[in-house]
Structure 1
Amino acid sequence: MAQPTVTHFKALTRVLRYIKGSPGQGIFYSSNSILHLKAFSDSDWAACLDSRKSISGCCVFLGDSLVSWKSKKQTTTTRSSSEAEYRALATTSCEIQWLTNLLDNFRVNYVKPALLYCDNDSARHIAANSVFHELTKHIDINCHVVRERLHSKLFHLLPIASIDQSANILTKALDPTHFRFLLSKLGILDIYSPA
């Protein structure tokens, strides 16, 4: 915001055009789904052209309903896509921990453990293995919250194909067809759209 350029203005007008063209769009919350936390974690490595910092994205569902989502530039520049994905996993695991504590405090019965989906094999292996020294020695110690929470059985870490990764919508520019597909997976409906 300190030094906006024409590129920033074009991005802003594109977002405003999308919002104006979708006045009836909103999240549908189902009243009859099984209460099970499912989270999707993703990262777009070195996506910011100015700083080369990565973008983390996560979305968390309770049953079929989207209850939490985040998209944020990572605080440090990562040296690999695995590290960027692992940092996104750390953010998502903290979100799962917070939601689990919230549900427990409200005494809501839900299926345990949560499911966490990640489309990066290396990040999943780093979380599961404590012996990946060469890949992990430059990763900040704080990111190892993933491994700690995985071993405490807070969640199961599962693979997902990149095309089905719901968090992609929060980290990458997508073609319109894939964008609409992921919107439907997030439970986004347009009340003005024909059924």
Structure 2
Amino acid sequence: MRPDIAYAVSVVSQFMHSPSEDHMGAVMHILRYLKVTPRKGLMFCKYGHIDVEGYTDADWAGSVTDRRSTSEYYTFVGGNLVTWRNKKQKVVYRSSAEAEYRGMTQGVCELLWLRRLLRDLGFRPQKPMDLYCDNKIAIAIAHNPVQHDHTKHIEVDRHFVKEKLDAEIISFPFISSEYQLVDVLTKAVSTTIFLNSLDKLGMRDIFAPT
């Protein structure tokens, strides 16, 4: 799936068993967008490194039907987008920190998989993998094992992430919301933000002359 339609497809797919006219209208809107952008795709470039990094976020209680949050992440290898995902969480979390932390855990799992894949291909990571997050409380929970008020429903995730932090396999740099790339996987955004985000993700006219 193309990352530029991932959010829209994830929303309409939740109603595929009983779609309304509004849902079908949204599907037609997606198809019209694809029709006018058939040449758009991911362009992979050489940046001189094979660093593994990711961006993670969560739309806390974003679903109006069941108030579940949606977590999402992007992962990059060598500066190029390689995987992305947004998925509704199975549990209704009572705070944004819990929802964000659950999303962070999923991002960590994806980065660890990429790290193992690169090692199998003969590449060894030279530094911890950065997973950028815009929630300071979630980052604090990852670093501080004594956060009982915030971790009631994420105890296993907390120990899993802390283990990777202590081993210096992963790190969680804070990034302000204005530089958070995964907003296009989380919610509807303005055309300007949408196009700027796609440019940063490496989406280009793949048939354009170089």
Q: What interval of TM-score do these two structures reach, taking the shorter chain for normalisation?
A: over 0.9
Deviations 1:91-130 (A, max 9, x none): 0000011111111111124432111100001100010101
Give the match for residue 10 of structure 2. Answer: none
Alignment equivalent of 1:152, drawn from 152, 157, 167: 167
- Mapped to 2, the partners of 1:93 and 1:162 lie a distance apart of 20
Counterpart of 1:93 in 2: which secondary structure? helix
Point out the more displaced range, 114-123 or 102-111.
Answer: 102-111
Report deviation, 1:145.
2.1
Where does the alignment leave 5 or more consecutive residues of structure 1 unmatched?
Answer: none
Structure 1 outlier segments of 4+, above 6 Å? 192-195
* One-letter amino acid of the counterpart of residue 79, structure 2: D
Query: Aligned pair count?
Result: 195
Residues 35 and 111 of structure 1 are in contact (CA less than 8 Å); yes or no, is this contact kept in structure 2?
no
Alignment equivalent of 1:166, drawn from 181, 191, 199: 181
Residues 114 and 155 of structure 1 are in contact (CA less than 8 Å); yes or no, is this contact kept in structure 2?
yes
Alignment equivalent of 1:49, drawn from 64, 85, 90: 64
Give the match for residue 76 of structure 1. Answer: 91
Correspondence 1:6-45 to 2 at 5 A? 6-45=21-60
Where does the alignment leave 5 or more consecutive residues of structure 2 unmatched?
Answer: 1-15
- Mapped to 2, the partners of 1:109 and 1:138 lie a distance apart of 35
* One-letter amino acid of the counterpart of residue 178, structure 2: I
Residues 119 and 161 of structure 1 are in contact (CA less than 8 Å); yes or no, is this contact kept in structure 2?
yes
Counterpart of 1:112 in 2: which secondary structure? coil
Give the match for residue 3 of structure 1. Answer: 18
- Mapped to 1, the partners of 2:65 and 2:125 lie a distance apart of 43
Correspondence 1:38-187 to 2 at 5 A? 38-142=53-157, 144-187=159-202
Point out the more displaced range, 28-37 or 179-188.
Answer: 28-37
- Mapped to 2, the partners of 1:167 and 1:70 lie a distance apart of 10
Point out the more displaced range, 10-19 or 70-79.
Answer: 10-19
- Mapped to 2, the partners of 1:185 and 1:110 lie a distance apart of 23
Normalising by structure 1, report the TM-score.
0.93
Alignment root-mean-square deviation, CA: 1.8
- Mapped to 1, the partners of 2:138 and 2:86 lie a distance apart of 18
Residues 43 and 202 of structure 2 are in contact (CA less than 8 Å); yes or no, is this contact kept in structure 1?
yes
Percent identity among equivalent residues? Answer: 39
Normalising by structure 2, report the TM-score.
0.86
Distance 1:132 1:140, change over 3 A: closer
